[in-house]
Each structure stands twice: as C-alpha cells, then as structure tokens.
Amino acid sequence: MGGILVDRFGKPVAFREGVAAARKVAISSVASQDGKGISLALLGTVADQLQLLASLGYSLQLVLAGDKASCDKASHAILNLLKLKEPVVELPVEHTAEEGALALGAARGFGAQLLVVLGANRGVELEQGRIARVYQPPAAGSAAAAAALPPLVAAAWAAASTSGGVPVLLAGLAEPDVLLRVAAGQDVGTLFDPAAAEAAGGAKAVAAASSARDLAVRARAASRKLQALSSEERSAALLRVADGLLAAQDDILKANAQDVAEATGRISESLLQRLVLKPAKIAQLAEGIRAIAAQEEPLGRMLRKVEVAEGLILDKITAPIGVLLVIFEARPDALPQIASLAIRSGNGLLLKGGKEAAHSNAALHRVIVEALGSDLGPDLISLVTSREEIEGLLALDDVVDLVIPRGSNALVSHIKRNTRIPVLGHADGICHVYVDAAAELPTALRILLDAKTDYPAACNAVEKVLVHKDWVEKGGLQTIREALQKAGVTVHAGDSVKPMLADLPSAPSPRHEYSALAVTIEVVDSMEAAIDHIHKYGSAHTDCIVTTDGERAEAFLRGVDSACVFHNASTRFADGFRFGLGAEVGISTSRIHARGPVGVEGLLTTKWVLRGDGHVVAKDAGVTYKHKPLPAAVAEAEAAGGRGRRHGGGPRCVVM
Amino acid sequence: MGGILVDRFGKPVAFREGVAAARKVAISSVASQDGKGISLALLGTVADQLQLLASLGYSLQLVLAGDKASCDKASHAILNLLKLKEPVVELPVEHTAEEGALALGAARGFGAQLLVVLGANRGVELEQGRIARVYQPPAAGSAAAAAALPPLVAAAWAAASTSGGVPVLLAGLAEPDVLLRVAAGQDVGTLFDPAAAEAAGGAKAVAAASSARDLAVRARAASRKLQALSSEERSAALLRVADGLLAAQDDILKANAQDVAEATGRISESLLQRLVLKPAKIAQLAEGIRAIAAQEEPLGRMLRKVEVAEGLILDKITAPIGVLLVIFEARPDALPQIASLAIRSGNGLLLKGGKEAAHSNAALHRVIVEALGSDLGPDLISLVTSREEIEGLLALDDVVDLVIPRGSNALVSHIKRNTRIPVLGHADGICHVYVDAAAELPTALRILLDAKTDYPAACNAVEKVLVHKDWVEKGGLQTIREALQKAGVTVHAGDSVKPMLADLPSAPSPRHEYSALAVTIEVVDSMEAAIDHIHKYGSAHTDCIVTTDGERAEAFLRGVDSACVFHNASTRFADGFRFGLGAEVGISTSRIHARGPVGVEGLLTTKWVLRGDGHVVAKDAGVTYKHKPLPAAVAEAEAAGGRGRRHGGGPRCVVM
C-alpha cells in the first residue's frame, strides 16, 4: 500500500492511538469537485477503502451531501455494492458549512466514535501549506480568536468540545488511501479533539507536519528560479561547489571519519569501503563537477522547429523535469555528483541518504547549500533528515516527478513496488550471452570471460550463458565450461544441461542474478529458443549474441526486446560512460521516459513554445497550415551527445 | 489502494467469505530472493500490510523461514517495530518444502483460522500462466494423481484436509497489497480448502483466473511477433482493417443502433451524440487508418549513431513500448483509431470501453481481429469484456507499460490516483491568457475570444484571463469583459477584480475549469505576478502571453513551467494536428516520457544496439574509446515529424 507512512521496517511515522481504536466511524462529504452533488467517479476513489474497512468489521456510516437525486443514486450504489451494515444518511443541502453541522448531528445519532470529514483541503492549513496535526483553538483574547473562524472549523471544534462530543478529523478526499491511513492511526488531516489538543500543547507540536512534502514544494519553486538563471550562472554555481568541496575538505573528512567509526563492525566490509572518503576522492569529485560545469548547456536545446503557418513558429525544447527524489545507500560521494547534475539540468532535488553516511552527507550538503547562495541554497537541494522514512517519501507522488534509487537490488525492487512516482533504475540485471552455432569459439570465450570477470557484481555482467546445441557434440560446451571455471567462475547447470554436465551444481532457479563469479549455463535448440528463453527469464537489461552469421545477428538484435542488444561485444559495454553519454544518471529497464544507460537527458523533459502574431484557430479556418520543418540544432546536438570521455572501471550501475 | 480488485463502484470482483472472516491468521515464508534467510528489505514490502492488519485487530503469527541469524534480526525488527501481539515463530530450516510442513504445524499450534504462505509464485499455476483460484486434488487414478505433486502443494492440501486442518492460501510475495487483498476476501493466490474445492466443482471453475493479466501477457508476446513483421506487412494489415470496416459497415451500424437504443434517455444528449456512428463516420475512419498506414515507419528510426571504438558501432533506435491499456468512454470510433496506432507502432493493446458502447465496440473489434489474421489477431488487441473492471486493470502494473485514458476529467483523475502504471494524459486543462501592459488590445481580444469560444469544452480552451493592472484605468479591463460577454461568455470575478467589477458573479474557486462558455477574470500587478498565479492555480497545460514587448514575451515563455507556452497565439493551437504531429495520441501534462500534444512517438521507447567484432571492456583497457558521432537519420526524421495534414475542428483532447 503505497500511501501508508511507515518506515522501511514498517514502523509508523506517527500513531494516533485514539483514532486507530475507533471501530464505529462516520464519514462525511463525498462531494463532487464542483460542489454540486455527488460524483460516482469521485465516490469510487474511496469506495475500495470503505469496502475494505467494512469487510474488516468496521461499522461505517456514510453521510452524503448533495442534491436529492444524486444522493439517491449514490446511496443505492453504496447499499447494494458495498453492503454497508448501516444506512446511508442523506443530507440534501447545498455545499456549505451547514453541511458540516448536519453531518455532525447525524454522526452523533449514529453513535460514531469518530467523524471523518473529507473535502478538498488536506486539513487546517498553517503557514507555507503545512497542515496542523491537531487543531488548537486560538487563545482567548488573541487576534486569531477575534477573527471569525471558518465555519466548518468552528463547527468541528464545537462538536468535539461539547459533552458527548465526537472527535472530528478533517482530511483531503484526494489524498491516497486517506481512510486507511486514518484507520491505521497515521498522521493525515487535522484532528479536532480537546484531549489531543491539550496533549499536543504548544504551537510547535501543532505545526509539525509532513516536512518532506514542504521540501518538495519549495524545491520546485527554487528550480523555477534556477531555470531563470543563465547557463553561465548555473556553471558558476557548480564551480563554487567544486571549490567549496576542496575548501571544506577537513570538515568533510572529519565527518566521514565519524561515520566510519560508528559503522565499523556494523556493516559489511564492502559497504564500509564505499563509505570511506579520502582527499584523493574529494579532489576527483571536484574535478568531475568541473567537467559537468563545462558540459554543453542541457536546457533549452531545440529538438524540433516547425513553421505551423505563416508567422506562427513552433519550437520543441528541452526543460528540467522539476523535482527529483534520489534515494541512495552508503557512498556519500554520490551526493555532490547527483546534486551537480541537478543544478546543471535545472532540477530541484530531495536527497535521502543512508544512516551510515549521515555525518558525511550533512557536511557535503552544507558545502552545496553555501555554494548555491542564500536565494537558492536552502530550498533547491534538500537533505531529508527528518523522521520521515522512505515510505513517506514514496507517497509524495503529487509533488515529486521522478525517483532515482541508487543502491542494492532489494532497495530498487522495494521502491518500484511501493510508489506511484516514476522510477528511473533497474532492479535486476540478468544478462545473457547466446553462443550461436555459427560463433567463433575464441570470440565467444573472450566475450564470456570479459562479461563475467571484468566486474562480476555489476548489473551488466553476464549471468546466463546460452549455448547452441551444435556445440555439445563439437565439444564447445565443455570448452566454454572449462574456460569459465579456469577463470574462477562457478558454473551452475540449468535444467537443459544437467544430463550432460552432471557434475555441475544446479542453478538455484531459471531466473537468478549471482552478482558474483558465477553463471548458469544452458543449451538451446536454436536462436529462436534463445530469444524465447531471454524473454522468459531475463530482465530486459542487456543481452548479446556471438555469431559470424550477419543475418542471424540482425534477427537477434531485432527480436530481443531488451534495453541493450549486442552483437559480438561484451555486455559490460552497457554503461553511460562507455556509450559516450558523459555523466551517467543510471541504467533504466523501464520502457517509459528513458531506457538503458541514461545521461543527463534522463533529467529533462520537453516544452512546446509557440510564437505568433495574434494567430487564432477559428475552427481551423483562421490559418492555412504549412507544417514546414525548419532547421533545428537538434541533429548536431543529439548526435554530439556522443562526445564522451575516458574513465576508469568500477561499479557504476547508477548515478555517476 | 491501487491493488484492490473492485470495480469502479467498489464492488469486489470476487469475494471469499470464509477467508475474509478469518481474524487469526498465520503468515509464512517471507524468504529472500536467493532462498537464503530473510531480507529485511523484502520483509518491508509486507510490513506495512502487517502493521495495518495488526492495528485493525487481527491476531497475526509470522512464521519465518531462514537461518537463525537472519531470523533473529527479522523477528527483533518485527516485534519491536510492528508490536505484533503474538510471538514470531522461527523455523531455522533450509528453503525447502519442509518449510511448508513446519509452518503448517506452527500455524496449527497458534490456532490460526488461515495460513497464508507467501512465495515467489502467485499460486498453483495452470496452463498459460493462469492461477487456480481453488486447488482441486487430481481425481484418483488419473495421470495427474500418479505424478508426484510438488511437495508444498501436497503439504498444503494435506494440512487443509486433515481433521482440524487449517485452510492454506498460497500467494505471491511480490503481488501488490497481497495480504490486504487476502484479508478483503479477494481473488488472489490459490486456496487449499476441501469445502471450497467441492463447491468449486468442475475444472472450469478452477481455471477461472485473472483474465486481464493473461490478456496483457499474450498481448506482449503478440507485439513481439508484430515487430518481427516488415513495415510493409504492418501497413498491409492496416489497409485490411480499413477495408474490413467498410465491408462490415452494416453489422457495425446495427450494433451501434442497439447501443443507441439502450442508452437513449439513460445518458446525456452530448454523450449520446458521441455514441452514434454513421456511414460517413465509418468512411472517415477508414480514410484515417489508410493515412496511418501510409505514414513513415515509426519503428527502428535511428536517433543516434556513435562509433564507440574502432569497429564498435552503437545505434539508438526507436522501439515499441510494449503493452498499452486504453480506457475510453462513449465514442466507439476511438477504438479502430487507437488500434491502428498500436499496430503501426508495434504495440500490444488492451482496450476497455464504456458499457454504453459495448455492442459497437464488439463489432469494431471483430473487424480488427479478422484483419490481423489468426496468428496475431486474437492476442495483439484485446477488448476487455470480462467482469474485471477498471481497478483490476489498473493493478496490472507488472504487465502493462502505459495507460492512456480517454474520457472525462473525473475518469482521468481517478486513473491517475489509482495506478502505478504511467499515465499519458491530463486531468485538467486550466489554461491562462495573460494580457500584458504592452499588449495591443485588438490582438488580445481576438486571441481571448478564439481561446474561449472556438470550442469552450476543449481542454485547451482558456479558463482564466489575467489582465495587467494598467488596463484598469485605461478601460481595457471593461473592454475585455464586455467583449467576452457579448460573445456569450459568462465572466466570473476572481478575488482581485471583485471590488472593481462588483456586478460579476464570483468565481467558484481560484482553480476552476469551466469547460463551458465561462471564464474567470483577474487583475495582476506584473508579469511576474501572472507567472506566479499560473504556477499556483494552473494545470501546466497551455498558457499564453499577449504583448508587443519581445523581451517580456521571452521572459514569460522561459519562466512559465507548462507543457505549452504561447506568445500572441490562441491556446486552442495546443493540439497534435495543429502542431503537425499527424495522428494524435493525447495531450500529456505529465513531466515524464512525453509532454504536451503527443504523436505516435508517445507510443515508442528506444533500444540501444551495439555491433562489435569480439570487443571486450577489460577494465576499459581493452578498447580505445572514440565516441565519434556518425551521421544518423535523426535530424530529418525528427524535424520531418512536422509533416502534418489539414483537419477539421472538434473535440480532440485525446486519441485522434
């Protein structure tokens, strides 16, 4: 359930015991957007939640507001389809505060332990869009008390405060899983309850709110300011980040030493390796950021230019996506790299790092905020350090445009399964090399050994070798197996080769990513069988054919539906740097937005700009359409994206 | 909650009364992917569900399988964080069927009314990936009975069948909301329960399954076959569809007449208008499909070509997305148009039409299936007519790549809120026209009248007029208001103009889409204030500035963060045909994948093809990187997308 605010181990972010204990609940005001009666489509957005709660034993009362006809229609639908045990109360009133008072009366008559009022607002709004957790009545004699309260707020407070009153919860109809979150006692909406108000005490507790949401909203505003800067100004900010990293080196290393000391013995040796920062690494980081600053301007690139009609010119240009959420584990050096890519491409950023690197991340983040200056710094790039954990962030699908996970397969899978925000990344890298009947064996061996041993844990390392059956009699199967074993690779037998190579250990499953010096070997009857096998058990990441038969190679490249398809080349080439994309954002196995190794273009969207001179459509009689393509800079720009740079090896499945 | 299988009114697709009634539930086998112990990250995927069920009063027992150390770690996390009332039972066993038997024993000891066993499989698999709802033991003496049952299946059946047995439910750990769906009594996994097996009776009931999922899986396989066809073969299939429509005209019109007769009086007059098919419309449809057949081949277009190293050539080419789900209301003519775009672009398709057009849709679908032939026809393009409703389809995020809703705002909003599948479309079209201080009033009036009256209900019609404050004294505000009123437009006052134009009705809210001959008018202090207003209340669809000040126009075009930004041109130009994209897929306000008016390219993704000669990475020492851009056909192809055609007016917010 995407919207439930629990941390990664299921711990709720906050718990409202009293609310969670209520089993007899009235729910009011499923009103339509235009305030006129009930829309069945809108009702549908909470109907599944009502049905689940009802099936879980809740007594529910639904108080509908709207005109008689739509109430009748809706209550018929609800009674018959949801099989609610309690009748639906109809309130044929207009869309006013009166509605609130009537709903309260109905709830009291029902004996509800809680009344949930769903509306357009997410609750009682405080400054900067924050929602009060618990409503606090203004102090007597204060200016706020003198001002008239919104009628619904006044009614809710009165209902909750009178003897035998019903606690009221105001929440947003459009919030994901709103009723389920209420039932689970989570922080959603504003609670009107004198006891809770007293317990919450001072203004501070009241104002506590979904801070990550605020951060995202502010990041978007800051990203709009950033876009208004010139390319040179954005480059200059990046150079300040690079200088700042070097200047703050001592602070950063000190913070990092603290992280390392705390983590030693608590995390694996390989994770610990990734956690450590050294002066050389910081210098390398600064150099990388200077390279990003020197890159071609990614924003405003002309992708298409069309003369729509005489004097009416349409451009399609690149623009930033908006607000990115990057969730990363261990490696603190990822932070300045990701931040620099965001600055270059005009995006706002929420960063959520692993706890093991908390001090290092804070020190690095400070450098970036200072380099950006007081106007942009505090808002554009935020390090989420609040109690809100990953699940809470993943629920921000209305204010975050893209999630980029950087970490283990388990983290990426978890994120993909638990958010409605698009995810740029890949969970699995189950890459295949198919050795065709027409392969040259030395070529096949060279490619196989490189694809497995160059960096066995990489996502683009081969996990499965498919050998054409002709090689069984010709001895090639044995040769391949022995060459791999000689190179230290544990060769596992897939079902098809178990009878031939009985001494090999069995593969754990037909779909298995070793991420280690191990592969599964299988025999296939034909290239078509290899393609079917890849579609059935692969992860559509990178798959390769080794053959001298050009026609068969083309059929394989056309037929295999993966992000990267190779002929006679190691799967290890599937990498942003090796592809010449410059800075790598990650490798995506998604079929939407960006696929395969992704460069900065993965952080961009497009925008249509139309310039006219008073042009009108007038039923398409107002203009004579030409739709004449004009020369755009796109060809060179797109092709020149290939301008890459040499780089060393290493684990780079995700952000540079 | 995305995954709950209820129809749009909350009616569950199926209900397991007995399972839903269980309140004491044991849950087993949260095993990690590699079968070795428990991964906390994987546990996290069900932890939120466990927490919710626990908070709803369920007694839960969690039976963990794995080695002792990981059990300890996991049970510590669960006990402390989830506050489960019952202890966690540890089963320090290997990943085998024995695990199942031990879990059953533990569940019995706990007195569980149900044992849920979560694993890698979605249940007991029948033919074609279907999952048995209820397990049926093979008849005595049958071949199946003679063959050995998988150990876990045998154990589950034995446990359920013995006296005092516990019903067992086998389900997939990775299925969204799996435990909540089980708790709600929905069809998920396979139930082992002698009573249920008897009730289910014959083989037919057992095989009933999630048919929409099957359709999606088959559509992907068919789309891969389609891609293997040549461009000419796909064009020929489209021409057969066009011919077939004309040949089947009588059948189609007969079916349509039946829909119209049944819908008359039950749906609005405007919806009824859209439902009606006439011979002229069918002829127009056939012509449109011929135009799609004649279009340039969209697949395999070269977007980039790079010489990575000597003899190592990288291509980035276009490829189909895979499987699309199109949900449309009313207009049956959308069906052949969408199907044709899918065929041209090599995609598989699930179509879910409105009930009001059921007969028409069936007749049109028959024509397409016949035109595609027996190899592709039955699988490539499916009309979902089963009981599964929209919510069920929206849960298919693992087998559907993109949803394209075609219908009312309410439908689109609902879909956006309730699925993890990327959505191509827009819910709102709250477009602004800002009349700058330096505007020519006649130009502003011409644009405003066109933007509102050309087609008032269109998504690209203006909903809000922002007037620079200088026009108040100069009388321009009055002129604008009067010109709009004279054209029949109801002008509503926003907060800022209420004091000046007190006789106007108030705007219902600062963010309102009239979709009718009505607008809101506001006065703003500056262009910057106009931009802020648009960001705060707009929908990032299409926004326009009217001014003679070129510098200010450019600042507006740069500063407004919408899919379409216009200078001195009517918002009504925001349309795929008018932009020259040819066939229009829809208008997207998403910031991912495609934005603004979307042509066929919205149905495409990319694929990287690397051709080498035995190239290996060898820690990047194996090759000398060149990254030399080679001439690609991209420039012309991309720019030539502008080659459009004239077309009539009309509502075309979504698929052509």
Instruction: Judge if A274 and A414 occupy the same domain.
Output: yes
- Whether B194 has a pLDDT exceeding 80, the answer reads no
Q: What is the pLDDT of residue B19?
A: 64
Contacts of residue B248, Cβ cutoff 8 Å, sequence gap at least 6: B363, B366, B367
- The torsion angles phi and psi of A404, rounded to 5 degrees, stand at -120, 105
Asked if the structure places residue B213 within a domain, the reply is: no
Asked if A408 and A542 sit in the same domain, the reply is: no
Give pLDDT tens digits for B67-90: 555 555 555 555 544 444 444 444
| Closest CA in chain B for residue A651 | B619
| Domain end among A519, A551, A584 | A584
Q: Which residues of B touch A417 (CB under 8 A)?
A: 45, 174, 176
CATH number, domain containing residue B264: 3.40.605.10
**Same domain for A457 and A397?**
no
Helix (H) or strand (E) holding A214: helix A211-228
Instruction: Say if A8 falls within a structural domain.
Output: no
Q: Nearest residue of A to residue B409 by CA position?
A: A41
Instruction: In whole angstroms, give the CA distance from residue B213 to residue A4.
Output: 26
Nearest CA in chain B to A590: B401
Phi, psi of A520, rounded to the nearest 5 degrees? -105, 140
pLDDT at B406: 83
Name the band, by pLDDT with cuts 50, 70 and 90, for residue B209. Answer: very low
Amino acid found at B393: L
**Residue B114 banded pLDDT, cuts 50, 70, 90:** confident
User: In angstroms, rounded to a whole number, what is the distance separating the alpha carbons of residues A145 and A139?
Assistant: 6
- What is the gyration radius of the CA atoms in chain B, in angstroms? 30
Predicted local distance difference test score (pLDDT) of residue B464: 97
Q: Which of A591, A601, A604, A624 to mutate to test the interface with B (most CBs of B within 10 A)?
A: A591
In A114-200, which ranges are continuous DSSP H helix? 143-146, 151-161, 178-183, 194-200
Q: Are residues B50 and B185 in the same domain?
A: yes
Q: Which residue is associated with the tokens 């083989």?
A: B203
Q: Strand A302-309 vs strand A312-320: parallel, antiparallel, or unpaired?
A: antiparallel
Lowest mean pLDDT among A85-94, A521-530, B213-222, B619-628: A85-94
Instruction: Name the residue among A80, A204, A90 with its Cα closest to residue A136.
Output: A204
Residue A310 placed within a domain: no
> Which residue of A lies nearest to B611 if distances are taken between CA atoms?
A567
Using left for φ > 0, alpha for ψ between -120 and 50, and beta otherwise, residue B34 falls in alpha
> DSSP letter string over B337-351?
HHHHHHHHTT-EEEE
User: A239 and A191: one domain?
Assistant: no
Q: Do B81 and A11 touch (CB under 8 A)?
A: yes
Shared domain check, B329 and B454: no
* Chain B residues near residue A620 by CB distance under 8 angstroms: 578, 646-649
8 Å CB contact between B100 and B12: no
> Is there a contact between B592 and A402 if contact means CB atoms under 8 Å apart?
yes
Domain membership flag for residue A58: yes
Strands B190-192, B168-172: pairing kind:
antiparallel
Taking the CA of residue A289 as centre, how many other CA atoms within 13 Å lie in the half-sphere pointing to its CB?
Answer: 31
Q: Which residues pair with B463 in a beta bridge?
A: none
- Is the model more confident about A55 or about B206? A55
Residue A504 belongs to a domain: yes
The pTM assigned to this predicted structure is 0.70
Chain A residue numbers touching B19 (CB-CB < 8 A): none
Higher pLDDT, B291 or A69: B291
Contact predicate B73/A9, CB 8 Å = no
Residues 335-354 of B with CB under 8 A from A: none
CA dihedral sign, ordered B242, B386, A51, A14: negative
* Tokens found for residue A74: 């809706």
Single out the residue of B627, B531, B463 nearest to residue A573, CA to CA. B627
Q: At what angle do helices B279-294 and B334-344 cross, to 10 degrees?
A: 10
Predicted complex ipTM exceeds 0.85: no
Q: What is the pLDDT of residue A32?
A: 42
Same-domain pairing of A245 and A153: no
Asked if the structure places residue B649 within a domain, the reply is no
Type of residue numbered A622: G
**Who's near B196: CB < 8 A, 6+ residues apart?**
B16, B18, B134, B167
Average pLDDT over residues B33-50: 52
Long-range CB pairs of B135-142, under 8 A, 24+ apart, other chains included: B135/B190, B135/B191, B135/B192, B135/B193, B135/B197, B135/B206, B136/B197, B136/B200, B136/B203, B136/B206, B137/B197
With an 8 Å Cβ cutoff, is A537 touching chain B?
no
How far is Cα B110 from Cα B356, in angstroms, rounded to an integer?
51
Return the minimum-mean-pLDDT range out of A39-53, A154-168, B35-49, B563-577: B35-49
Question: Chain A partners of B568 at a C-beta cutoff of 8 Å?
Answer: 611-615
Distance from CA of B99 to the nearest CA of A (A): 17
pLDDT at A30: 43
Same domain, B248 and B276: yes
CATH number where B548 lies: 3.40.309.10
- At A633 the pLDDT is 54
Strands A604-615 and A596-598: unpaired
Judge: B570–A11 Cβ closer than 8 Å, yes or no.
Answer: no
Q: Which of A52, A312, A645 sits opposite B569 (nearest CB)?
A: A312
Strand-pair category, B596-598 with B24-28: unpaired
Q: Model confidence at B325, in pLDDT bands (50, 70, 90)?
A: very high
Contact A625 B578 (CB under 8 A): yes
Rounded Cα distance between B506 and B408, Å, is: 25
pLDDT for res B637: 39
* Cα A122 from Cα A112, distance rounded (Å): 22
Task: Show which of A418, A449, A466 is a domain's final residue.
Answer: A418
CA-atom Rg of chain A in angstroms = 30
The distance in angstroms from the start CA to the end CA of chain A is: 31
Split into its structural domains, chain B has a count of 3
Domain with A445, as residue range(s), is: 431-584
Based on the domain organization, do A395 and A249 belong to the same domain? yes
% of chain B exceeding 70 in pLDDT: 75
Q: Parallel, antiparallel, or unpaired: how do β-strands B190-192 and B24-28 relate?
A: unpaired
Domain with B132 in it: what CATH number?
A: 3.40.1160.10
Closest-CA distance of chain B to residue A14, Å: 12
Question: For residue B638, is pLDDT > 80?
Answer: no
DSSP character at residue A24: E
Residue A175 contacts B, CB cutoff 8 Å = no
CA angle centred on B173, ends B172 and B175, rounded to 5°:
65
| Cα gap A159→A171, rounded to integer Å | 16
How close does chain B come to A295, measured CA to CA in Å? Answer: 15
Shared domain check, B403 and B335: yes
Q: How confident is the model at residue B326 (pLDDT cuts 50, 70, 90)?
A: very high
B12: contact with A, CB 8 A cutoff:
yes
Please tell me which residue of chain B has the smallest CA distance to A217: B536
Q: What pLDDT, on a 0 to 100 scale, did the predictor assign at position B650?
A: 34
Distance, in angstroms, between A219 CA and closest chain B CA?
14
Residues B346 and B406 in one domain: yes
B169 within domain boundaries: yes
Residues of chain A where predicted confidence (pLDDT) is lower than 70:
1-23, 27-49, 51-52, 54-57, 63-103, 120, 126-130, 139-152, 163-164, 174, 176, 184-187, 198-211, 386-389, 633-656
Residues in chain A: 656
The region that residue B80 occupies, defined by phi over 0 for left and psi between -120 and 50 for alpha, beta otherwise, is alpha
A650 part of a folded domain: no
Q: Using alpha carbons, list the distances in angstroms from residue A98 to A95, A128, A151, A167.
A: 8, 28, 8, 18
Q: Which secondary-structure segment (H or E) carries A348? A: strand A348-352
**Domain ends where: A201, A230, A264?**
A201
Q: Which of A289, A291, A315, A294 is nearest to A231 (CA)?
A: A294
Report pLDDT for B67: 54
Residues with Cβ within 8 Å of B633's Cβ and at least 6 positions away in sequence, in order, are B301, B302
What is the pLDDT averaged over residues B115-143?
71
- Euclidean distance between CA atoms B572 and A312, whole angstroms: 13
Query: What is the four-CA torsion angle of B525, B526, B531, B533, rounded to 10 degrees?
Result: 0
Residues B449 and B528 reside in one and the same domain:
yes
Pick the more confident residue, A140 or B11. Answer: A140
Looking at residue A533, its amino acid is H
Rounded CA-CA distance A516/A490 in Å is: 9
Place of tokens 């009221």: A168
Q: Minimum mean pLDDT among A572-581, B103-112, B223-232, B374-383: which range?
A: B103-112
Is A49 at the interface with chain B, CB within 8 A?
Answer: yes
Q: How far is the alpha carbon of B564 from chain A, nearest alpha carbon, in Å?
A: 5
Chain B touched by A638 (CB under 8 Å): yes
For residue B295, the chain A residues in CB contact (below 8 A) are: none
Give me the pLDDT at residue B323, please: 95
Tokens of B94: 């290997």
Determine contact, residues A493/A400, Cβ cutoff 8 Å: no
Does B647 contact chain A (CB < 8 Å)? yes
Please state whether beta strands B168-172 and B114-119 pair in parallel, antiparallel, or not at all (unpaired).
Answer: parallel
Higher pLDDT, B166 or B64: B166
